[in-house]
Structure 1
Amino acid sequence: MKSALIATCCAAALLLSACGGEEKGDKTVRADGTLAPGSTLKVGERAVVPFSDADKSGTIAITVKSVDLGPKEDLAEFKNKGEGMLPVYVRMVIENVGGTDLSDTSVSVRAVDPDGKSTKVILANSTAACKGEEAPANFTTAGATYETCKTEGVKDGGEVGGVIFREGDYQDDPITWKK
């Protein structure tokens, strides 16, 4: 009798935890409206995520608008450090969903190959063709948006399959945007 009660309670707990989100293709929207870790989207789709940076936290939406390879000449200013690499330009729109003060924060994404593995090339600086912008001073209210571009990299001849967001809740199981 006691084991039947425990089994019933466990089954109920599993059902309740499954009711916390709504599955849509390769992405699951949690009860709070944010995407579950491990969700996969296509470039152009919007991901609502909990976010923190620079001792500020809130909820943002990230829309990766494009992921494009740039010419190797764009890395000339990097001198030898840019040799054998191509720039990857990730253009995004960031929206303040929660309405908290997220001014002067920065969203980080990383390029991945078609298999979802790291390109193993990280460029710390931006290029003239892709200036990474921090959130502006007025990024403090719900609905505020800004556009930014992050410069990533790939070895010359390599391919880019998309980008990942691997911050906070998504450290071990990132959100992926596929090209």
Structure 2
Amino acid sequence: MKSGRTASIATGCAIALLLSACGEEGGKTVRVDGTMAPGSTLKVGERAVVPFEYADKSGTIAITVKSIDIGPKEDLAKFKDKAEGTLPVYVRMVIENVGGTDLSDTSVSVRAVDADGKGTKVIMANGAAACKGETAAENFTTPGATYETCDTEGVKDGGEVGGVSFSDGDGYKDAPIIWKK
């Protein structure tokens, strides 16, 4: 009788784990559907699979933040006074079409955060010459299709960038995924 009860408890625990998430490792949780749970923390270089929506298109993508670098203030000269006291932050990423749906002409956006995971409160529109954001090409319609892009963010001169966050879509607005430097 005891082994039957033990098996029932083990089965119940396994079911509970599957219903909540597939697993947790170092601040990141992967859900049953294979996507990264909101609030997960990753290191630069780690891949996060997320549900993705852009205009009238939706699917599943993987985002790998390859690097987060602060550029020289001279890179923001075209912004003139609007960029006074601001440094550019260049976020280089690889985006992969995981689900194989048509995600052509879409783009992925992340935001710079400080060491505590709070936004830097500086948003850069139109990027800088050293970091041009790319949109997905027309052939970004099959599983495994990838493209590289760079997102220009900003930080106040003297501020610190601790990483970047992804807050678009299914539950990520209130609990973004964060890649830490």
What's the TM-score, normalizing by structure 2?
0.89
Mark the runs of 5 or more structure 2 residues left unpaired by the alignment.
Answer: 1-11
RMSD (Å), alpha carbons: 1.3
Match of 2:9 in 1: none
Aligned-partner Cα distance in 2 for 1:114–1:160: 6
Aligned-partner Cα distance in 2 for 1:28–1:97: 18
Secondary structure (helix, strand or coil) at the match of 1:19 reads helix
| 1:38 aligns to 2:39 (yes or no) | yes
Aligned-partner Cα distance in 2 for 1:32–1:84: 43
Aligned-partner Cα distance in 2 for 1:15–1:36: 19
Which amino acid counterpart does residue 110 of structure 2 have in structure 1?
V
Match of 1:95 in 2: 96
| 1:171 aligns to 2:173 (yes or no) | yes
Match of 1:143 in 2: 144
Deviation at 1:18? 3.5
Provide runs of 4+ in structure 1 moved above 3 Å: 14-18
Secondary structure (helix, strand or coil) at the match of 1:123 reads coil
Q: How does 1:17-166 map to 2 (within 5 A)?
A: 17-20=16-19, 21=21, 22-166=23-167
Deviation at 1:24? 1.5
Which amino acid counterpart does residue 27 of structure 2 have in structure 1?
D
What is the number of equivalent residue pairs in this alignment?
167
Which amino acid counterpart does residue 135 of structure 2 have in structure 1?
E
Deviation at 1:36? 0.5
Query: CA offsets per residue over residues 8-41 of structure 1, 9 Å max, x none?
Result: xxxx7x9745423211221111111101110000
Deviation at 1:150? 0.3
Mark the runs of 5 or more structure 1 residues left unpaired by the alignment.
Answer: 1-11
Query: CA offsets per residue over residues 64-84 of structure 1, 9 Å max, x none?
Result: 000000000000010111110
Secondary structure (helix, strand or coil) at the match of 1:52 reads strand
Aligned-partner Cα distance in 1 for 2:16–2:51: 19
Aligned-partner Cα distance in 1 for 2:16–2:61: 24
What's the TM-score, normalizing by structure 1?
0.90
Aligned-partner Cα distance in 1 for 2:80–2:29: 43
Aligned-partner Cα distance in 1 for 2:15–2:169: 24
Match of 1:5 in 2: none
